[in-house]
Amino acid sequence: MLCLQGGNPLAPGDDMESLWARYTLAPLPPGPMANACHNILSDYDGQSIRWRDTSGKRLGMWGNEPMHFKHEVIDSRGPENPHIKAVGDVNRDGFVDIVVASSEGGPLVWYEYPNWTKHVIAQSGGWSTDGKLADVDGDGDLDIIVSEWYVHKRLEWYENPLPEGNPATDRWRRHLIGDTRAHNIEVIDIDRDGFLEIVTRQQAREGNEIIVWKWDHADSWARRVIHCPIGEGLAVGDIDGDGGPDIVIGGRWYDVPRDIMGEPWDEHGFADWTPDAVVGLAEMNEDGRIDVVLTRSEGHYRLSWFEAPPDPKSGWIEHWAGGRDSGWIEHVVDDSVDFAHSLAIGDMDDDGHPDIVTAEMHQSPRKRIMIYLNDGSATEWRRQVIAETGSHNLCIADIGNDGMLDLIGANWSGDYQPVEIWRQI
């Protein structure tokens, strides 16, 4: 049986072909829809029609926009100036929850799916800018790593009361990592010893160091400093394909050594970029190599991805005609974005290709929240503007486990800063 969204079931005579012709004035394309019309559901919102099989898998969509979202404000009076947004299954019920932290005195909270009940983790603090959910102590639940930036100027993690306690009602114990604050935080097992390390960087002139933190399991952390140019932005991934996660900033990457705390981290250049960057890593063109995606976080610039060469360690080579070449090819996705302090990469339209999500902050005159849909080659992109209210540190996740990626965000300051999500429908 076919049904229209918000309407009654169609009459038995309304087969797929006639329904398609009625709303699109074109023949039904060949493929899974034509071959299995009896087993397909459709949604129609007056502009586009979306086809899914009975398992919920998307089969196709035709209309004015390639994707459709429902906007939901989950907290209109959330933590003030919420710099930190993070997502993960906090209470281990199988669904994604949301963590948000204020930079203006607190609180640090998590919102529980499905009703978005707000639970306080810490009442007061000034946290900025990044935060990550990860199982720091290896007990099977997600803890929270954040930087208390404005008051105590330190890096800390909050221990989830699970497995014995309840993260909604019991106290989250705070642990000090170090007395250095962080604008960017990544959490990964760098040396592949089975335990997580933390990688951080500050911003602007203080962003001239990358710090690798290694836990000694006695509530203290050793640090390794890697010197780098000033700026902000950080990502971790296996650039050279040797199985070890390397560190990437705007325009440079650092090769992970065998001894991460004692041996040099060799620097390799790949692009000329602004010091302020948001860094994303993904295999954009499906050639088996990890590529780098960059936006400028604190001003007007562009959104690009850099195609990794067969030897990503080749570095800069001076060109006889002037300038230099790294072997990495820049592909411009959008040549005009402003204050794009968000970058997420995922298959938004479920076509098997990585798409790009970004958002301009409230400082931007345009304040766009945007999805760039990959045509499959990562050389042609279709931009869809989801909203024009701005966002910061936007996250993507499958809210509700319906198989579709959704958007989660909030402006870090300004007149409009509710915690909000855009649910894909």
204, pLDDT greater than 80: yes
Average pLDDT over residues 121-130: 96
So what's the pLDDT on residue 110? 98
Percent of all residues in the chain with a pLDDT value above 90, rounded to a whole number: 80
DSSP summary character for residue 328: P
The closest of 91, 86, 93, 122 to 107, measured between CA atoms, is: 122
Contact in structure between 194 and 171 (CB atoms under 8 Å): no
Q: CA distances (Å), 385 to each of 54, 280, 401, 425, in order?
A: 29, 20, 24, 16
Sign of CA dihedral 74, 78, 79, 81: positive
SS3 at position 189: coil
Instruction: From 391, 398, 404, select the one nearest 73 (Cα to Cα).
Output: 391
Residue 317 CB contacts under 8 Å (≥ 6 apart), including other chains? 324, 325, 326, 327
* Gap between the Cα atoms of 140 and 126, Å rounded: 28
Is 343's pLDDT higher than 80?
A: yes
User: Residue 119: beta bridge partners?
Assistant: 110
- Structure tokens given for 218: 């006695």
Split at pLDDT 50, 70, 90, the class of 273 is very high
Query: How many angstroms separate the CA atoms of 211 and 249, rounded?
Result: 13
d(CA 132, CA 153): 17
pLDDT of res. 36: 41
| pLDDT exceeds 60 at position 323 | yes
Strands 344-346 and 329-338: unpaired
CA dihedral 201→202→206→208, nearest 10 degrees, is 20
Average pLDDT over residues 292-301: 98
- pLDDT tens digits, 352-396: 999 999 999 999 999 999 999 999 999 999 999 999 999 999 999
Query: Is it the case that residue 41 has pLDDT exceeding 70?
Result: no
| Adjacent-strand bridge partners of 193 | none
Q: 3-state class of 59 per DSSP? A: strand
pLDDT at 2 over 60: no
- Phi and psi, residue 89, nearest 5°: -85, 90
pLDDT band at residue 316 under the 50/70/90 scheme: confident
Task: Report pLDDT for 245.
Answer: 97
Q: How many residues does the chain have?
A: 425
pLDDT digits (tens, 9 = 90+) for 45-103: 444 455 555 555 454 444 567 899 999 999 999 999 999 999 999 999 999 999 999 99
Confidence of residue 42 (pLDDT cuts 50, 70, 90): low
**3 state SS of 34:** helix
pLDDT band at 321 (very low <50, low <70, confident <90, very high): confident
In the predicted structure, residue 186 carries a pLDDT above the cut 60: yes
Structure token pair of residue 343: 């970058």
Say which residues have a Cβ less than 8 Å from residue 322's Cβ, sequence separation at least 6. Answer: none
Task: Please give the structure tokens belonging to residue 173.
Answer: 């114990």
| Ordered DSSP codes for 285-319 | SSSSS-EEEEE-SSSEEEEEEEEPPS-TT---EE-
- For the chain, the first-to-last Cα distance in angstroms comes to 20
- Please tell me the distance from the alpha carbon of residue 213 to that of residue 287, in angstroms, as a whole number: 32
Q: How far apart are CA 194 and CA 217, in angstroms?
A: 13
Tokens of 355: 């798409």
Q: Is the pLDDT of residue 1 over 50?
A: no
Residue 357 C-alpha from the chain's centroid: 8
pLDDT digits (tens, 9 = 90+) for 213-268: 999 878 899 999 999 999 999 999 999 999 999 999 999 999 999 999 999 999 99
How many angstroms separate the Cα of 134 from the Cα of each of 86, 156, 238, 323, 397?
Answer: 11, 13, 19, 42, 15
Element at 60 (helix H, strand E): strand 58-63
Q: What order of strands is seen across the sheet that includes strand 291-295?
A: 278-282, 291-295, 300-307, 329-338
Question: What average pLDDT does this structure show over 279-298?
Answer: 97
- Pull the structure tokens for residue 338: 């402003």
- For the segment 279-296, the average pLDDT, to the nearest whole number, is 97
Share the mean pLDDT of the chain.
Answer: 89
pLDDT at res. 139: 97
Check the CA dihedral 14-19-21-25 and report its sign.
Answer: positive
